[in-house]
Amino acid sequence: MSYPPTKAPAAEVSPFDAPARWPLALLAGSALVWLVLSSLLALVTSIQLHTPSFLADCSALTHGRAQALRETAFLYGWAGNAGVGLGLWILGRLGGHPLRALNWAVVGTVFWNLGLLAGMVGIATGSMTGFSGLQVPRAVQPVLVAAFCAMALPGVLAWAGRKREGTYAAQWYAAAALFLLPWFWTATQAVLLWSPLRGVVQTIAVSWHTQSLVSLWLMPLALAAAYYIVPKQTGKLLPGYESAPLAFWTLIVCGGWSFGRHLIGGPVPAWIPTMAVVAQCLLLFHFLVVALNFRQVFAGGSLTLQYLRFGLVAYLLTGLLETITSFRGVGVHTQFTLLVPAMEQLTLQGALSMFLFGGLVYQFPRIIGRDWTLPTFVSGHGSLYMLGVVISVLSLGWAGLAQDALLNHSQTPFAEILVQLKMPLLLHTAGQFALLAGNVLLLVAFLRSAASSCCREEGAASLRPASSAS
């Protein structure tokens, strides 16, 4: 219980980590910068919900654009960078060789972040594509795919050239995520940007892409981190591990099918929402196995495990709620209301980010070879972030339920609905403020640790012979 969570025993800094130190720190650092930016934008958009005049004069931050900016910074900036950093690290460690082709990863990371920056400027100045989840201007998208391939290369090499024949669940998830993103993103670009399909098929393609982004790319990276860290932190084998391959394939095969739950009653073929119900029911098996595998996180007390525990609970809740709302009888109430962003926050900030935070908090001391310089800031981030997620999700859920009653079951004039939701929306802003404050703390802690590690490069380097001897 009292085990200091962020303590990195020197013996754990494996010789594999030393050459990968700065490439991985670059990924983690850029992830955290994007995270702070996205939570700042999330604060702006949440204020705009109850005070529409906020920043309305500023064309770059009008609500629609601020939403797109927030989403892009979060998905591609924060979760993308952090997830790839963790994925590479895990594949390198489990592959049994130091990571190769790391200069590719550095170049890829630089171009990925520059591309995203160009994309953000494009969105703010009016070149966004208008496809939710894929708002980056079309000229930037091929650059991002190419940059991603370069970033992922060390991971793919580590997977292909691994020492041992047997593999771990963490490796499947990480390798799958690195392999699948370029594949489905290219396919989506082809049918949306270069040779656009006609009419609502575009909407189907973009919903499919957004779902795949979470289910086939980001969530697998986050799960890879959890599968790697949970047994290390609890010191026990994962229970029910023999079912993990089946859970993995369930997610990979069915993960992209469930987007239709957002399209019920819409002008799309009726079988698409029906397939979402099927997929969600099949995915329950995935969630069940993940719950079994990770159930020991409820025993431990370290900060990493606290993050993972919160993430696991949120992940399971997400699975359950998405299944329930995929049925038409329920979905007709939740569709188009704030319950949808509430569930999205539960997935992205509750489950995904928490797994990634757990991974980062565990990974970072081990790659720079020294403990967090400001452990209180890190645990402060943990508390603030968890508080922020709970407040945001509950307040949006409250607003969503009230909105459903006003929108679907009464004749309240439209202009009054948003006014009546003011209370929960103000609460939501408070939640976003807690998230922002927490993220700033984590960024400061990261920068302090990285800076002090730079100053004592020799001290860190002296760990290498000690650890290779162990």
Partner 1 sequence: MKNRPLFLLGLFLAVLTSWAGFVLGSHGQLGSLTPFFDEADGQSHPARLPGLAARGQLVYADLGCAACHTQQVRRPGFGNDQARGWGERQSVARDYIFHAQPQLGASRLGPDLMNLAGRKPQAPSAEELHRLLYTGSAAHPAFPFLYETREIAGESSRHAVRLTGAAAPKAGSEVVATERAQTLVAYLLNVNSGFDYPEARPLPAQSPASPEAKK
Interface of this chain with partner 1, residues 161 to 180, rule: CB under 8 A: 165-167, 172, 175-176, 179-180
Q: Which stretch binds partner 1 (CB under 8 A): 79-87, 280-288, 311-319, 411-419?
A: 411-419
Residue 241 engages partner 1 in binding (rule: CB under 8 A): no
Residue among 246 and 454 whose Cβ is closer to partner 1: 246
In the complex, what is the shortest distance from the CB of residue 383 to partner 1, in angstroms, rounded to a whole number? 31
Q: What is the DSSP letter of 78?
A: I
Residue among 6 and 171 whose Cβ is closer to partner 1: 171
**Spatial CA neighbour of 347 closest among 441, 225, 249, 211:** 211
Residue among 3 and 249 whose Cβ is closer to partner 1: 249
Give the C-alpha separation, 274 to 223, whole Å.
Answer: 27
Give the C-alpha separation, 294 to 311, whole Å.
Answer: 11
In the complex, what is the shortest distance from the CB of residue 360 to partner 1, in angstroms, rounded to a whole number? 26
Residues 104, 111, 184, 285: which binds partner 1 (CB under 8 A)? 184
Tokens representing residue 234 in the block: 């609890």
Residue 89 engages partner 1 in binding (rule: CB under 8 A): no
291 in Cβ contact with 259 (< 8 Å): no
Residue among 4 and 161 whose Cβ is closer to partner 1: 161
Residue 407 engages partner 1 in binding (rule: CB under 8 A): yes
CA 278 to chain centre: 25
Question: Which residues in 67-86 contact partner 1 (CB under 8 A)?
Answer: 67-68
In the complex, what is the shortest distance from the CB of residue 160 to partner 1, in angstroms, rounded to a whole number? 6
Give the C-alpha separation, 436 to 389, whole Å.
Answer: 11
CA 164 to chain centre: 29
Residue 423 engages partner 1 in binding (rule: CB under 8 A): no
Residue 202 engages partner 1 in binding (rule: CB under 8 A): yes
Question: Which residues in 37-66 contact partner 1 (CB under 8 A)?
Answer: 48-49, 52-53, 56-59, 62-65
Question: Which residues in 244-273 contact partner 1 (CB under 8 A)?
Answer: 245, 249, 252-253, 256-257, 259, 262-263, 265-269, 272
Q: Which stretch binds partner 1 (CB under 8 A): 72-80, 183-191, 222-230, 289-297?
A: 183-191
Give the C-alpha separation, 221 to 59, whole Å.
Answer: 35
Q: Please name the residues in contact with 179: beta carbons below 8 A apart, sequence gap of 6 or more.
A: 152, 156
Residues 183, 236, 301, 465: which binds partner 1 (CB under 8 A)? 183
Residue among 226 and 275 whose Cβ is closer to partner 1: 275
Q: Please name the residues in contact with 183: beta carbons below 8 A apart, sequence gap of 6 or more.
A: none
Residues 35, 47, 170, 204: which binds partner 1 (CB under 8 A)? 204
Question: Which residues in 92-111 contact partner 1 (CB under 8 A)?
Answer: none
In the complex, what is the shortest distance from the CB of residue 403 to partner 1, in angstroms, rounded to a whole number? 8
Question: Which residues in 270-309 contact partner 1 (CB under 8 A)?
Answer: 272, 275
In the complex, what is the shortest distance from the CB of residue 129 to partner 1, in angstroms, rounded to a whole number? 8
Q: 2-18 burial by CB neighbour count: b if 16+ within 10 A, else e? A: eeebbebeeeebbebbb
- Residue 22 vs residues 8, 28, 126, 174: alpha-carbon distances, Å: 17, 10, 35, 20
In the complex, what is the shortest distance from the CB of residue 357 to partner 1, in angstroms, rounded to a whole number? 27
In the complex, what is the shortest distance from the CB of residue 401 to partner 1, in angstroms, rounded to a whole number? 14
304 in Cβ contact with 5 (< 8 Å): yes
Tokens representing residue 178 in the block: 């690195």
- Residue 332 vs residues 179, 336, 460: alpha-carbon distances, Å: 36, 9, 57
Residue 408 engages partner 1 in binding (rule: CB under 8 A): yes
Give the C-alpha separation, 140 to 159, whole Å.
Answer: 29
- The three-class DSSP label of residue 188 is helix
Question: Which residues in 118-137 contact partner 1 (CB under 8 A)?
Answer: 126-132
In the complex, what is the shortest distance from the CB of residue 126 to partner 1, in angstroms, rounded to a whole number? 4
In the complex, what is the shortest distance from the CB of residue 312 to partner 1, in angstroms, rounded to a whole number? 23
Question: Which residues in 143-162 contact partner 1 (CB under 8 A)?
Answer: 159-160
Give the C-alpha separation, 470 to 92, whole Å.
Answer: 18
Residue 341 engages partner 1 in binding (rule: CB under 8 A): yes
Angle between helices 303-326 and 375-408 (to 10 degrees): 10
Give the C-alpha separation, 402 to 379, whole Å.
Answer: 35
425 in Cβ contact with 49 (< 8 Å): yes
Residue among 4 and 196 whose Cβ is closer to partner 1: 196
Give the C-alpha separation, 378 to 360, whole Å.
Answer: 11
Q: Which stretch binds partner 1 (CB under 8 A): 82-90, 102-110, 147-155, 330-338?
A: 330-338
Residue 379 engages partner 1 in binding (rule: CB under 8 A): no
Residues 34, 173, 208, 362: which binds partner 1 (CB under 8 A)? 208
Alpha-helical (H) ranges within 346-421 are 353-368, 375-408, 414-420
Residue 428 engages partner 1 in binding (rule: CB under 8 A): no
